[in-house]
Amino acid sequence: MRMIRAFVGGRKLTAQQLMEILSDVPQATLYRHLNKLLNGGLLAIIQQRQVRGAVERVYALAERDLFTPLMDDQELSCEDYMEHFLAFLAILQSDYQRYLQQEKINLKQDGVEYRQFHLNLSDEEYQQFMNKMNEIIQEALDKLPSPKRRSRTLSTLVIPEPL
């Protein structure tokens, strides 16, 4: 999580810069986690440059659609799921921070909002709700960019009450 937070706010870092920020993390551990975040699609290589015979990579939080990694329970541990979730939160925070850093903001006009609802639905009702919501989202995703359209990020989070 500390590695991910280092990238919040649109920061672009090399492994060396990341090591300077996280000086208490052993180099082997840092590279292992860097590769996990890269392979998991949470970080992206945004630039590569030749430095004294080696290739130096510049990393940033991946700008892409982020999905819950729905794997067999044996493939990912609870820690892996939590790491992925924390990365999702960090990316969300980074996006919001980038929005707030604009010179002029108007949350109402820009359509910025966050809400939390508690829905009391059976499994069947929930599935129907999600199917309708996915249809609406897909309809919006199918719209091509144009001068009249502004890109907006929609993030959803569904967590059921424990049984």
pLDDT in tens, 63-105: 766 667 766 556 777 887 887 788 788 878 878 888 898 899 9
Quick check: is 27 in a domain?
A: yes
**What's the CATH code of the domain at 23?**
1.10.10.10
Look at the block and give the residue holding tokens 């729905």.
Answer: 70
- In this predicted structure, what is the pLDDT of residue 21? 94
- Whether 149 maps to a domain, the answer reads no
Q: CA-to-CA distance for 43 and 6, rounded, in angstroms?
A: 11
Q: Are 30 and 19 in contact (CB under 8 A)?
A: yes
Tens digits of per-residue pLDDT, 118-150?
999 999 999 999 999 999 999 999 999 899 999
The partner residues of 45 in beta bridges, in order of sequence, read 59
- The reply to whether 59 falls in a domain is yes
Mean pLDDT for 42-55 is 88
Which domain, by its residues, includes 6? 2-112
Number of separate domains in the chain = 1
Q: What Rg do the C-alpha atoms of the chain give, in angstroms?
A: 19
* Separate counts of helices (H) and strands (E) for the chain: 6, 3
Look at residue 124 and tell me if it is in a domain. Answer: no
**pLDDT, position 71:** 60
Classify the C-alpha dihedral 160-66-103-14 as positive or negative: positive
Q: Percent of the chain at pLDDT above 90?
A: 46
Q: What local confidence, expressed as pLDDT, does residue 2 receive?
A: 85
* Domain presence at residue 69: yes
Give the pLDDT confidence score for residue 38 in this predicted structure. 86
pLDDT digits (tens, 9 = 90+) for 2-24: 888 888 777 899 999 999 999 99
- Which pLDDT belongs to residue 65? 60
Q: In sequence order, what are the beta bridge partners of 61?
A: 43
Question: What is the Cα–Cα distance from 145 to 156, expressed in whole angstroms?
Answer: 22
**98 belongs to a structural domain:** yes
